[in-house]
Amino acid sequence: GESVGLHLPTLSVQEGDNSIINCAYSNSASDYFIWYKQESGKGPQFIIDIRSNMDKRQGQRVTVLLNKTVKHLSLQIAATQPGDSAVYFCAESSGNAGKSTFGDGTTLTVKP
């Protein structure tokens, strides 16, 4: 079956540093990838997405990179702030499959 996983369960960075959160997926048919941020006690919040016909997409302070060759996805957060502290999930969906398959999550802690 398909699976989505993250390389590290926790990541701690200093305020102002850049953060990189990684994710590996197994389903080569996946064509849509999403990064979600989940703060304590809240639902997943959309951050940025990327389709399989792209290898990079930038948002405000965030960049998602997709390497289909090695089935790897990463989220880069520039100038990380304390408000970025949360659990980050990558998720994928494929074609007409409406569901999102989530990875395990990386807990990002930003130290002041």
Partner 1 sequence: EPEVTQTPSHQVTQMGQEVILRCVPISNHLYFYWYRQILGQKVEFLVSFYNNEISEKSEIFDDQFSVERPDGSNFTLKIRSTKLEDSAMYFCASSVKRGGETQYFGPGTRLLVL
Specify the residue, 14 or 58, whose C-beta has the smaller distance to partner 1: 58
* Least separation in angstroms between CB 66 and partner 1: 14
* Least separation in angstroms between CB 3 and partner 1: 10
Q: Which two tokens stand for residue 8?
A: 């590290």
The H or E element containing residue 21 is: strand 19-25
The H or E element containing residue 46 is: strand 45-51
Instruction: Report the interface residues with partner 1, using CB under 8 A.
Output: 31-32, 34, 36, 41-46, 49, 51, 89, 91, 93-105
Pairing of strands 56-58, 62-67: antiparallel
Specify the residue, 18 or 56, whose C-beta has the smaller distance to partner 1: 56
